[in-house]
Copies of this chain bind each other. A is one copy, B any other.
Amino acid sequence: MSLEPHQIDIIGYCAAFLTTIAFLPQAIWSWRTRDLSGISLGMYSLFTAGVGLWLVYGLIIEKWPLILANAMTFALALSILMLKLRHTATEHKK
């Protein structure tokens, strides 16, 4: 396809915008309610690690849509994972 580099970037940024926006409500919900019972620690750890690796991959191949999308999702996912870990630790103490 004969697309200009900036046109290719626009497609990437649209993808980044959509998947980040779709992830936001769950992040905000988890953060607000602190109800993390519906979140699987194992699966969420895999997801967070995966997003972190996508960020590393994006940095190496120097593709800004990948970098921005995954930096934002990684920060949100990591903060929820921390809440979940604290929550799990509290449950164990009971």
The copy count of this chain in the complex is 2
Query: B residues within 8 A CB of A82?
Result: none
Closest Cβ of chain B to A39, distance in Å, is 11
How many angstroms between the C-alpha atoms of A66 and B16 in the bound complex? 13
Least distance between A62 CB and chain B CB atoms (Å): 11
Q: How large is the interface on A (under 10, 10 to 19, 20 to 34, 35 or more residues)?
A: 20 to 34
Q: Is A56 an interface residue (CB 8 A)?
A: yes
Residues of B with C-beta under 8 A to A75: none
Is B60 within 8 A of A63, CB to CB? Answer: no
- Taken together as a complex, chains A and B put the C-alpha atoms of A20 and B43 apart, in Å, by 10
**Interface residues in chain A, defined as those with a beta carbon under 8 Å from any beta carbon in chain B:** 1, 3, 8, 11-12, 14-23, 25, 40, 43-44, 46-47, 49-51, 53-54, 56-57, 60-61, 63, 65-66
